[in-house]
Amino acid sequence: MKNLFTIDNAAMLLIDHQRGTIKLAVSTPRDEIIRNTRALARTAVEVGMPLVLTSSQEDHFQGLLIDDIQQITPKQYADRIKRPGVVDCWMYEPFKQAVLATGRKKLIMGGLTNDVCIVYPAISAVQDGFEVQVVADAGGSPTRAANDIALDRMARHGVTITSTNQLLAELATDWASERGGPIRSILYQENLKHLVEG
């Protein structure tokens, strides 16, 4: 398969996984969003991928980024881009510059909510010449219809819609490789262990 996203050519962008905003993402179970977000954050940190975090209006309803992100990515959390209210984070110059500084043209986006906080930057980045994958199950929307409409709109604009497990498998490429092994462990610990042992 050509043009794979790999840990050497992609950057991870986690957008607005905030304590208040997660309450709006009812189309995906909260524990699933957290598990998937943990898996994405851990993967970026443990394999050394560029990771950019952003939040919106932390002093309002949205609140701080969820505790899991703060604990997994303390350095990136300290460096997070705090937006004053710009909906499309791609239009907020400090965020865009942080992404450009990674030097990566393949972008992985996950966040809350898919129908507001993800749809716009995903489309904007594609229009600026980037390849974008949105991890749909690392986010959600207030309704199933809103989520479906957002995913369809992104796909129509050239965004690839993926899932956490699918994305991690793509990044790993080979579970038995030196760099694929750690991703396999993260996938099991965060997303499969509860199924196997449940």
Active site residues: 117
Q: Cα separation of 122 and 14, whole Å?
A: 12
Both tokens of 149, joined, read 């409409």
Q: Cα separation of 151 and 134, whole Å?
A: 9
Q: How many CB atoms lie within 10 A of CB 147?
A: 21
Contact 52, 95 (CB under 8 A): yes
Q: Cα separation of 143 and 124, whole Å?
A: 23
User: What is the spatial order of strands in the sheet that 81-83 belongs to?
Assistant: 81-83, 51-56, 10-15, 106-111, 131-135, 160-162
Contact 73, 99 (CB under 8 A): no
Beta strands in 112-159 (DSSP E): 131-135
